[in-house]
C-alpha cells in the first residue's frame, strides 16, 4: 500500500545524490538560458552550457538534444537582443523568444519578445537541427518536410 510512496521518495533521494555528486566533481549546473518558439510549433531551448533541445509540438519523442558548446550563449543573447521587438507581435505569427538573463525573479520571467526577422532565428534553428541530427531520424525528417520551422506564409 505504501510502496509507491517509498519508491518515489527513494527516486527523489537518488536524484539529489547524483546531482550533488556531479556538482562535487566540478560539473556546472545547467540551466535554461534561451527559449525560442516558431509560429508553427517548433521550439529551441538552449542551456547555459550551450547544449539544449530542438523539437516540434509537445511530444517528448519529437525532440532532439545537442551537446554542450554547440551555442555560445553570450553571442546568441546579443544577436537576439539586436533584433527589433515587434510590440504587436503574437504567438502564431511571430518568432517568440525569452532570455533567461532578463528574468526579474524566480516567479517573474523577463519580457516575451516577438520578431519576424527571417535570418537570426532560422540560422539558430538550423544549427540546432544539424547538431541534434534531426534529419537522420525518420520522424525528424518527416516533421521538417511537413512543417519546416519558420514564419507562416501570408502573415
The 10s digit of each residue's pLDDT in 23-40 is 444 555 567 889 999 999
Q: State the pLDDT at residue 79.
A: 96
Q: State the pLDDT at residue 27.
A: 53
Q: How many domains does the chain have?
A: 2
Q: What is the pLDDT of residues 85-136, one digit of tens each?
A: 888 888 888 999 999 888 888 888 888 999 999 999 999 999 999 999 999 9
> Which has more pLDDT, 2 or 62?
62
Distance spanning both ends of the chain, measured CA to CA: 56
Verify that 105 and 84 share a domain, yes or no: yes
Verify that 14 and 42 share a domain, yes or no: no
Verify that 67 and 126 share a domain, yes or no: yes
The Cα–Cα gap between 48 and 22 comes to 16
Verify that 105 and 131 share a domain, yes or no: yes
Verify that 65 and 79 share a domain, yes or no: yes
pLDDT tier at 3, thresholds 50, 70, 90: low
Verify that 20 and 49 share a domain, yes or no: no
Q: Who's near 9: CB < 8 A, 6+ residues apart?
A: none
- Length of the chain counted residue by residue: 155
- Predicted model pTM: 0.77
> How many angstroms from the chain centroid is the CA of residue 8?
28
> How open is the CA angle 115-50-125, to the nearest 5 degrees?
40
* Range(s) of the domain holding residue 133: 31-146
Assess if residue 37 is contained within a domain: yes
> Which has more pLDDT, 70 or 33?
70
The Cα–Cα gap between 119 and 26 comes to 37
Amino acid at each position: 500500500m505504501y510502496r509507491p510512496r517509498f519508491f518515489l521518495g527513494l527516486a527523489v533521494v537518488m536524484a539529489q545524490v547524483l546531482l550533488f555528486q556531479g556538482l562535487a566533481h566540478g560539473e556546472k549546473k545547467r540551466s535554461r538560458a534561451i527559449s525560442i518558439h516558431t509560429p508553427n510549433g517548433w521550439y529551441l531551448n538552449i542551456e547555459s552550457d550551450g547544449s539544449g533541445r530542438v523539437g516540434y509540438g509537445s511530444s517528448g519523442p519529437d525532440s532532439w538534444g545537442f551537446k554542450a558548446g554547440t551555442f555560445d550563449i553570450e553571442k546568441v543573447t546579443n544577436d537576439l537582443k539586436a533584433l527589433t521587438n515587434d510590440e504587436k507581435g503574437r504567438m502564431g505569427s511571430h518568432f517568440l523568444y525569452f532570455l533567461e538573463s532578463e528574468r526579474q525573479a524566480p516567479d517573474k520571467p523577463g519580457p516575451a519578445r516577438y520578431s519576424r526577422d527571417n535570418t537570426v532565428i532560422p540560422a539558430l534553428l538550423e544549427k540546432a537541427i544539424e547538431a541534434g541530427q534531426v534529419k537522420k531520424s525518420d520522424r525528424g525528417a518527416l516533421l521538417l518536410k511537413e512543417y519546416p520551422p519558420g514564419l507562416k506564409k501570408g502573415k
